[in-house]
């Protein structure tokens, strides 16, 4: 009986063990604890609070510095005056003026040579001496009463302007006796016109000087766009009378009205002056260069010397436009003289720069001196013609 009671009592104790917590390890208690851990707050840190904190961090202002305030500060810095020193106030008006003057002087220094590449005396005494030299000129050996100089060049190169400018120097005021055109595409001068250079002042009563400048139709890229090579040579040989009207469709012929079959020395051209525009040196066509070279070869075969003028120099060099006495220090003018020589097939020693009178109403001594130097240059080579040809001319006449 006692054994049965004990055994039955063990069953009761086991049943009670299922109803009350036991200090021993039980699978049931573990399961229940795990379940309770999911249903009741745990004392261990959970993932949810971390997520909530991250969410709150995006919804509420953070104590850490954010990008937005920095951006706002940068924006305010551009909208409100800065307390830092600005670069602009460092240079005063006086400083700016000095800097501008320094920059201008530097530019001028870069454009000018240290020493002139040709020597010219820019004094009023020199001007008077040059005028006297031209006025007293007579052809060598008394071969002729006057020296005829023909100006050849493209349309609007400045041939007529040069003649008017030289006339102005000796007249004492700006004149436009040689009709000057303004078109760059069509020649204004169509006829052969001769302009004797008159003496200045009281000397004008004693008649003109021995220098005669001849104007003619402008050259083109070929015989159909300007004065033809054949017509130009006819003028130089002395076959064309004064006032002859030139036309590409009607060239000079031996049966043309007034054609001089046996020209005298006084009918011929004694020096040829090529005139080229400094502003167009880089744009003249290859065809025009060929025309120049052909003319030079044929003119040289006639024993006639040639020189050249570079016009419009004031339009290619600012310094020269302000002070023409700086012309032989100008790098730009020196370079263009070289290009003119290549265009014409001529040494640069034959080429001189000039500035013609155009918009001016009064004479300028330095412009006069440059023009008179050009005339003196022309007369030197004109005289060579007389020296070379007078003996032959007298022997055949």
What local confidence, expressed as pLDDT, does residue 248 receive?
78
- What is the SS3 assignment for 212? strand
Residues 6+ apart with CB under 8 A from 316: 278, 279, 332, 333, 336
Domain, as residue range, for 214: 125-396
- Domain membership of residue 136 (yes or no) is yes
The dihedrals phi and psi of 272, each to the nearest 5 degrees, come to -115, 135
Query: The tokens of 148 are what?
Result: 């005829």
Instruction: Identify whether 70 is part of a domain.
Output: no
Range 389-397 average pLDDT: 58
State the CATH number of the domain containing residue 185: 3.40.50.300
Q: Is 14 among the domain residues?
A: no
Q: Is the pLDDT of residue 207 over 60?
A: yes
Q: What is the pLDDT of residues 230-263, one digit of tens each?
A: 999 999 999 999 999 998 788 899 888 889 999 9
CA atoms of 112 and 333, how far apart (whole Å): 10
For 368, the token pair is 């006069």
User: Which residue do the tokens 């670069």 mark?
Assistant: 87
- Place 342 in a pLDDT band, splitting at 50, 70 and 90: very high
pLDDT at 226: 85
Indicate whether 22 pLDDT > 60: no
The helix (H) or strand (E) run that includes residue 6 is helix 2-19
Residue of higher predicted confidence among 289 and 202 = 289
Rg of the chain (C-alpha set)? 50
225 pLDDT higher than 60: yes
- Distance between CA atoms of 222 and 208, rounded to whole angstroms? 36
In angstroms, the CA 145 to CA 318 distance is 42
Question: Looking at the 3D structure of the chain, how many domains does it have?
Answer: 1
Average pLDDT over residues 189-196: 90
Answer whether residue 43 is part of any domain.
Answer: no
**Residue spans of alpha helices (H) in 238-364:** 286-301, 318-322, 331-344
**Residue 3 above 50 pLDDT?**
no
Tell how strand 305-311 and strand 351-353 pair up: parallel
Residue entry with tokens 């700006």: 174
pLDDT band at 25 (very low <50, low <70, confident <90, very high): very low
As separate numbers, helices (DSSP H) first and strands (DSSP E) second, the chain gives 12, 6
For residue 382, pLDDT over 60 is answered with: yes
Contact 175, 167 (CB under 8 A): yes
Structural domain contains residue 294: yes
For residue 99, being part of any structural domain is answered with: no
Which of the pair, 388 or 150, is modelled with greater confidence?
Answer: 150
Does residue 278 sit in helix, strand or coil? helix
Both tokens assigned to 205: 């009563």
pLDDT band at 21 (very low <50, low <70, confident <90, very high): very low
Segment 273-317, tens digit of pLDDT: 999 999 999 999 999 999 999 999 999 999 999 999 999 999 999
CA distance 268 to 235: 7
In sequence order, the 6+-apart residues with CB closer than 8 A to the CB of 328 are: 116, 117, 118, 119, 120, 334
Q: How far apart are CA 224 and CA 332, in angstroms?
A: 34
For residues 12 and 92, the model is more confident at 92
Mean pLDDT of the chain: 79
- The pLDDT > 90 percentage for the chain reads 55
Answer yes or no: is pLDDT of 153 > 50.
yes
CB 272 within 8 A of CB 236: yes
pLDDT tens track for 72-112: 554 555 555 545 555 555 556 665 655 555 444 555 556 89
C-beta atoms surrounding 220 within 10 Å: 20
Q: How far apart are CA 7 and CA 288, in angstroms?
A: 141
Q: Collapse the DSSP code of 105 into the 3-class scheme (helix H, G, I; strand E, B; otherwise coil) and give the result.
A: helix
Strand-strand pairing, 193-198 and 351-353: unpaired
| Of the candidate ranges 89-103, 143-157, 218-232, the one whose mean pLDDT is the lowest | 89-103
Does residue 357 lie in a domain region?
yes
Query: What is the per-residue pLDDT for 220?
Result: 80
Is 148 in contact with 214 (CB distance < 8 Å)?
Answer: yes
pLDDT at 16: 47
Is 251 contained in some domain? Answer: yes
């Amino acid at each position: 009986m006692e054994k049965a009671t004990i055994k039955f009592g063990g069953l009761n104790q086991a049943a009670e063990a299922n109803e009350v917590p036991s200090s021993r390890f039980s699978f049931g208690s573990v399961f229940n604890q795990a379940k309770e851990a999911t249903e009741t707050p745990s004392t261990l840190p959970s993932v949810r609070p971390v997520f909530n904190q991250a969410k709150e961090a995006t919804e509420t202002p953070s104590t850490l510095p954010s990008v937005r305030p920095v951006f706002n500060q940068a924006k305010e810095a551009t909208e409100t005056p800065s307390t830092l020193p600005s670069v602009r106030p460092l240079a005063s008006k006086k400083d700016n003026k000095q800097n501008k003057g320094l920059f201008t002087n530097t530019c001028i220094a870069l454009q000018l040579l240290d020493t002139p590449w040709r020597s010219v005396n820019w004094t009023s005494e020199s001007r008077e001496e040059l005028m006297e030299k031209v006025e007293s000129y007579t052809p060598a050996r008394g071969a002729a009463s006057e020296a005829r100089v023909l100006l050849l060049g493209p349309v609007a190169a400045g041939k007529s302007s040069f003649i008017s400018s030289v006339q102005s120097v000796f007249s004492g005021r700006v004149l436009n006796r040689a009709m000057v055109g303004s078109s760059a595409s069509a020649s204004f001068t169509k006829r052969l016109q001769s302009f004797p250079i008159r003496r200045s002042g009281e000397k004008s009563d004693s008649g003109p000087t021995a220098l005669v400048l001849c104007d003619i139709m402008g050259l083109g890229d070929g015989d159909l766009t300007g004065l033809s090579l054949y017509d130009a040579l006819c003028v130089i040989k002395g076959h064309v009378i004064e006032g002859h009207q030139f036309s590409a469709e009607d060239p000079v012929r031996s049966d043309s009205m007034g054609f001089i079959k046996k020209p005298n020395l006084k009918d011929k051209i004694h020096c040829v002056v090529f005139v080229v525009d400094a502003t167009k040196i880089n744009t003249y066509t290859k065809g025009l260069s060929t025309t120049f070279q052909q003319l030079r070869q044929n003119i040289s075969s006639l024993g006639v010397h040639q020189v050249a003028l570079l016009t419009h120099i004031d339009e290619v060099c600012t310094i020269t436009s302000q002070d023409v006495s700086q012309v032989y220090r100008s790098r730009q003018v020196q370079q263009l003289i070289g290009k003119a020589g290549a265009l014409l097939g001529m040494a640069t020693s034959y080429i001189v720069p000039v500035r013609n009178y155009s918009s001016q109403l009064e004479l300028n001594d330095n412009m006069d001196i440059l023009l008179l130097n050009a005339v003196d240059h022309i007369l030197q080579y004109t005289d060579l013609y007389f020296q070379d040809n007078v003996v032959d001319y007298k022997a055949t006449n």
